[in-house]
Structure 1
Amino acid sequence: MQTAFTNICERMGCSQELSEFKRGTVIGCHLCNKSNCEISLLLNIPRSPVSGIITKWKQLGTTATQPQNERGQRILKCTVCRSRQLSAESIAKDLQISRGLHISTARVHRELRGMGFHG
């Protein structure tokens, strides 16, 4: 016998991407005036991916997965937040050594300015 907890765990899984067919089915249900909760129960997927798919479809007109944002910018921001007194040269060298990213000092300086870090 399944409890509600095991049923939720089975439904959620390990952050897997939904197939193109399931995303299309979500949009089809949405166009048939089903609520997010009804779609979630009908397709046996959590509500947050349902609302995310519908939002993406409304904004972009597609349900296809988009490439990730610039991962390098996140890494750079985390590096700067850890130690704000590093120079652009030392940050560039650190990223080249630790992460294998080939980035120039000028690029580091330009990206930091764009993120709002000055000085």
Structure 2
Amino acid sequence: MQTASTNICKIMSRSQELSEFKRGTVIGCHLCNKSTSEISLLLNIPRSAVSGIITKWKQLGTTATQPRSGKPRKMTERGQHMLKRTVRRNRQLSAESIAKDLQTLCGLQISTTLVDRELLGMGFHG
């Protein structure tokens, strides 16, 4: 038996973006004069998501996902993997020497501050 708290957690958790097809289906239902609640029940999507899709379609004329705001990450997943491997091989290296190694290996312009921040995020301390 599920408790109310576990049920709410399942409802409240963030999920992946809706597919282009599902967003198009929402717009199709909207054009057929279905209400937001009816579309929500029909497609099993939260009402707020349905409302957001319709609003976006009315304003922009499209349901495609727009680019996110903010500065792009400088360190790629490949760079993070190489950083982790470099540190595991030799934990005595300084952040300065690690940054130089990554610049020659990956071709990325990485500062020592970024190396320190990434290592701290990975769980390496000191």
Question: What is the TM-score with the length of structure 2 in the denominator?
Answer: 0.49
TM-superposition CA deviations, 1:35-62 (whole Å, max 9, x none): 1111101100101110110011001111
Q: Could you tell me the percent identity over the aligned residues?
A: 78
Q: Quick check: 1:12–1:46 contact (8 Å CA) kept in 2?
A: no
TM-superposition CA deviations, 1:6-42 (whole Å, max 9, x none): 6665566533100011000000000001111111011
Matched residues in 1 for 2:7 and 2:29: separation? Answer: 23
Aligned counterparts, 1:33-112, within 5 A: 33-69=33-69, 71-72=70-71, 98=113
Structure (1 or 2) with the larger CA radius of gyration? 2
Cα offset for 1:98?
4.4
Matched residues in 1 for 2:31 and 2:54: separation? Answer: 10
Q: Which runs of 4+ in 1 moved over 2 A?
A: 1-15, 96-100
5+ residue gaps, structure 2, are 72-110, 116-126
Counterpart in 2 of 1:31? 31
